[in-house]
Structures are given as C-alpha cells and as structure tokens.
Amino acid sequence: MSRTAIVVRTANRPEILNRCLAAAVEGCDVARHAYWLVLDDSSAHNLSPTREVAKFWMGSGLRLAYVDQSVEAEIADGLPGANVRASFRHLVARSPSCRTEGGRNLGLIAGLSLSPDVLLFVDDDMVHRHEGNCFFHWCSNNTRSGSFIASPRKLGITDMSYLNRLNNLLNRDDWARFFSDTGISSDPDLWYSPNNPLWKNGNGSDPASLTLAEREVVSGQFIALGNNGAEWLPFPDEYNSDLNWSLLQSCCFATPLLKVGGVNVKHLPPRLGCPQAESILSEFIGTAIARALRRIKQKGEQSMNRLADRLPDFIGLELKQELFLFLNVERVIRSRVRTSGDGIHAGRTLLKVQRTLADVGERLSSLDSRQLATSWLDDFAARNRMLQELRRDEAVQTQIRRVLFGTSS
C-alpha cells in the first residue's frame, strides 16, 4: 500500500470536522492507515472541542497529529537557524482577510516531510463517499509514472464565488427566504437539501465506472498530489491561493491536472455567510488571476520569466470581466432594496451586503493590475525559494516529523 498523508484544515467547526473524519475512514483501509494532519485555526473557545475530536480519532487508532498555534510554534522554535525559522513562519503565516494560503503551506511542508507517495488536502466540509469507487484507493493504487494533481467529482453545493452565489439567489423571486439576520441560506434544513438553489445536480454518470480526464484543478478543497519526484510550488500569498496554485504548478512544471470520474465527494458547508470587504476583494482578484493563468496555461508550459511577461496584461483583462459581474450584482441589490414587503430580516441583511460591496467598489477603483501582478509574482518567487530551502534541509524535515509524530524517520 502506498504511503499516504491527509491534511485537513479546520476552524471553529468541531462537529463538521468529526463528520469529515468519520466519512473518510468508514470502510476505507487507505484512510485508516494514512498519516493524518489536523490543522486547527479555531478561535480560543473552540480549540478545546476541536482538540477533543482529534483525541477521539487518535484513540480509535488513527495516526493523527493535531496542530494548533502552540504545536506550530514548537516546530518553528526548534528549527535550525534564524533564517530558516523566519522562512517557515513567513510561509505559514495567516492574515485575517485570507487564512487559506498559510494553512495550505503548513500542510504542504508538514505533509511532504513524511515523504508520502500521495498527499491529500481535504477541507473539513468535504464528505468523502465510498459507494462505487473510492478516491483514496484510486490515489493509492494509481500507477502513473509521473507526479500529478487529481480531484474527485464534487456533489452537493456548487463551487461558485461569493458574487456568483449572491447573484444566483437574488435573481429568484423568493430570494428573501434565503436571507436572515445571521447570514445567507443559514437554515440548515434547507442548506443540506437538494431544494437549495445552490445545490449541484448529479450528471447521471455511472459511479461504478472510473474515468480520467485532463482538467483544471483550481480548488484545494479536495485534491491529491501524486508525489513522484515533483518539485512542488508553495501556495502564493492572498487572493484565494487554492484557486490558482494548481494552475501555477501546471504552468511552471507541466504537472498533469486530473479529474477522476466515478469517485465522489460531497461539499456540505453549513451556510453561506456575509464576508467582509477584504475577503470579497481577495476572492475577486483571485478569480481574475486564476482565469489569467488558464489563458497562459493554454499556450503550454511557461518559465517564471515568461509568466511575469504575460500575467499583468491577462490579469487586467480578467479584472474587467469580473467587474461586469460585480456591477450586475450591485444593480440587482439596488432593485431588491427598493422592493417592498420582502421582510425586515432579509432587508437588513441585504443593506449590510450593499454597504460591504460599496466598500469593495471603492477599493477596486484604485487597483493597478500591472503593479498587482508584479508584486504578487515577486512575493511568489521569494516564497518558492523559501520552500525549496526548507525541503532540502533534512534537519528541518526531522524536526517536523519529531514534533508531529515523535519520530525522525
């Protein structure tokens, strides 16, 4: 059996984390024998219940390492040399507006230290399904000669940007039923139902037949890295890094991006809330970067220098396309705000969304796409140097394994 490591990022959702782990290991020997890394970004009052979930699964026999800020600090403090410690802390740092990239880099660094044949990233709101075929088994038994990035078919909630989801709901006559004081689509009875307008319909394919197709794996919600001698890039800073990391990896190293049909995972988040302006802007720019990288990828493998030449112009074009969606959502919101009789709770939430989007609009007007692309790529190149130095340093790898699993090998 291949050596497998599975990274799960979680924050403030112990019940959802427990559901994720239970679904993954049920009837799956690959998941049961894997090394598990639970990366916990919970606030202080949720650390204890999340830690208890991790302890329960450790007690059930899983090789599971629970990593919160204290464990992360223990790893960093034991690394050899101030420069190495600074690089590690820089790569795994999480900003309040976009916590994704630091957590994914921590998972990448820690997961690769175990020298797995397959490294999986699983968000806590992903529920693995074993009927028909198992994605974990497909990854473990895969005989491809080179490295790859693969993703299963996702059921449940569609993978849409916040603006697309908002637009989808507001264009319905019954839009107000999805808005409340606490967020959007916050009724659990509706959220987990196929009657939810954001629910993805099945495509009718036979779950017993495995198919493999090239595709652009742009989300890190559930991905597998076939680790056959690849040089892996770090997740870049800000702007929805899990949207564009796999495209960067494919652009720079021609790593195949694979969709595995006949194996399923269900995306079951608890609700769609009302994000702050920083998060919306980050997603907006991240989507534009991902679409620009798609255009570049179509032209074949690129060096970093070639990428730097092309990316600013493509980002500029894609930001203009994204702006059309943004302006359309603003128009629909203004129309709905003027609608009478839609309910006080929905109206309050909509006004809150409108004020937030006005803030986003002001920030968009000051964006310089060329400066944005240049600074983003410069930071990414620096992060890449840091990651490769950490991976080549065996003392670093030994320290990570020792803290996580009490072993140096």
State whether 323 and 227 are in the same domain. Answer: no
Both 193 and 214 in a single domain? no
Residue 406, Cβ neighbours under 10 Å: how many?
8
Domain range for 112: 1-158+198-271+388-409
Q: What's the pLDDT score for residue 91? A: 94
- Number of folded domains that form the chain: 2
Do 345 and 408 reside in the same domain of the chain?
no
Same domain, 181 and 210: no
380 in any annotated domain: no
Q: How far apart are CA 159 and CA 164, in angstroms?
A: 10
Rounded distance, CA 129 to CA 268, Å?
12
CATH number at residue 132: 3.90.550.10
Whether residues 58 and 136 share a domain: the answer is yes
* Residue 204 confidence (pLDDT): 47
Residues 267 and 280 in one domain: no
For residues 380 and 289, is the Cβ–Cβ distance under 8 A? no
User: Closest by alpha carbon to 146, among 302, 250, 301?
Assistant: 250
CA 203, CA 213: separation in Å to the nearest integer? 15
Same domain, residue pair 40 and 186: no
Residue 363 identity: R
In whole angstroms, what is the distance from residue 259 CA to residue 32 CA? Answer: 24
Looking at the domain assignment, is residue 332 inside a domain?
yes
Please check whether residue 378 lies inside any domain of the structure: no
In a domain, 319, yes or no: yes
Q: Are residues 137 and 221 in the same domain?
A: yes
Query: Please, are residues 140 and 120 in contact by the beta-carbon 8 Å criterion?
Result: no
pLDDT values of the chain reduced to their tens digit, one per residue, 409 residues? 579 999 999 999 999 999 999 999 998 999 999 999 999 998 888 899 999 999 999 999 999 999 999 999 999 999 999 999 999 999 999 765 455 568 899 999 999 999 999 999 999 999 998 776 899 999 988 878 889 999 998 888 887 788 888 888 888 888 888 887 767 775 667 777 777 888 876 554 554 567 777 777 888 889 999 998 779 999 998 887 778 899 889 888 889 999 998 888 988 876 667 888 988 898 889 889 988 888 887 766 566 777 778 888 889 888 888 888 889 999 988 888 877 555 667 888 888 888 999 999 888 888 898 899 989 989 999 999 999 999 999 999 999 999 999 976 6
Domain check: are 193 and 68 in the same one?
Answer: no
Residue 376 forms part of a structural domain: no
Residue 19 lies in a domain: yes
pLDDT in the model for residue 24: 95
C-alpha 32/C-alpha 58 separation (Å) is: 11
Is residue 372 in some structural domain? no
3-state secondary structure the chain: CCCEEEEEEECCCHHHHHHHHHHHHCCCHHHHHCEEEEEECCCHHHHHHHHHHHHHHHHCCCEEEEECHHHHHHHHHCCCCHHHHHHHHHHHCCCCCCCHHHHHHHHHHHHHCCCCCEEEEEECCEEEECCCCCHHHHHHHCCCCCCEEEEEEEEEECCCCHHHHHHHHHCCCCHHHHEECCEECCCHHHHCCCCCCCEECCCCCCCCCCEEEECCCCCCCEEEEECCCCCCCCCCCCCCHHHHHHHHHHHHHCCCEEEEEEEEEEECCCCECCCCHHHHHHHHHHHHHHHHHHHHHCCCCCCHHHHHHHHHHHHHHHHHHHHHHHHHHHHHHHHHHHCCCCCHHHHHHHHHHHHHHHHHHHHHHCCCHHHHHHHHHHHHHHHHHHHHHHHHCHHHHHHHHHHHHCCCC
Beta-carbon contacts of 205 under 8 Å, excluding residues fewer than 6 positions away, are 153, 211, 261, 262
The whole-model pTM stands at 0.91
Is position 317 within any domain?
A: yes
What pLDDT sits at residue 203?
A: 52
**Residues constituting the chain:** 409
Burial zone of 294 (CB within 10 Å; 0-12 exposed, 13-18 middle, 19+ buried): middle
Sequence-distant (6+) residues with CB within 8 A of 342 are 175, 176, 336
Are 265 and 186 members of one domain? no
Task: State how far the Cα of 323 lies from the Cα of 287, in Å rounded to an integer.
Answer: 11
**Gap between the Cα atoms of 176 and 129, Å rounded:** 33
- Residue 400 and residue 347 share a domain: no
Regarding whether 257 and 150 lie in a shared domain, the answer is yes
